[in-house]
Amino acid sequence: MDKEIRKLISNDSDLMTILTIIDSLNLPDCWLCAGTLRNFLWHTFSNQNAELITDVDVIFYDQSISYEETCLMETALKKAYPDYDWELKNQVYMHYHNPDAKPYLNSRDAISKFPEQCTAIGARLNMTNEVELFMPYGTYDFTHFIVQPTPFFLENLERKEVYIKRVTTKEWQKQWPHLKIVLPD
């Protein structure tokens, strides 16, 4: 299934444009991730016409780039490519957004600690311009339309509450009625 997902992404001109832009940033450990890819896959696997991708989640990991510099880079990215709503996040600082979280080791570590397993996905172009994927929880949740917390969000009561609030306010089932949302005990 990894191969099929790579092919789907490779065949989507909008995603490939985004991946090319991201690659041109030359940021270390940089990935297109989260809702951008999750929603694309849900649209594809539910035979819905894929919407034009505008919300673009990009992460990278670089201890030498400050939070303020990251914000300036995001502003410049939005100015250079205004067709997309860019979110550029340096994962060096993002553990502060999760209750009782230790600093992330790299972008893959951060992706594995996203709230939902179906959101824990990253894609980038490798050195030969082919799509490389990182899906720490595999493809099952994407292909079976399951929303469940990552182990990281199950470890802690506060993080469980963050997950529950997220999945109840996102209203994903309006667009994908066949989603099964798993609420932790």
Read off the pLDDT of residues 48-60 as tens digits, 9 standing for 90 and up: 876 667 789 999 9
- pLDDT at position 112: 97
- pLDDT at position 49: 76
Q: Give the 3-state secondary structure of residue 141.
A: helix
Read off the pLDDT of residues 24-47 as tens digits, 9 standing for 90 and up: 999 999 999 999 999 999 999 998
- pLDDT at position 53: 78
pLDDT over 80 (residue 63): yes
Q: How far apart are CA 124 and CA 32, in angstroms?
A: 6
Rounded to an integer, the average pLDDT of 57-71 is 97
- pLDDT at position 40: 94
Rounded to an integer, the average pLDDT of 71-97 is 96
Q: Where do runs of H (alpha helix) occur along the chain?
A: 2-10, 13-24, 35-45, 67-80, 107-112, 140-143, 151-154, 157-169, 172-175
Structural domains present in the chain: 2-139 (3.30.460)
Q: How far apart are CA 77 and CA 160, in angstroms?
A: 33
How crowded is residue 27: how many other Cβ atoms within 10 Å of its Cβ? 20
Q: How far apart are CA 83 and CA 140, in angstroms?
A: 32
β-pair partners for 116: 149
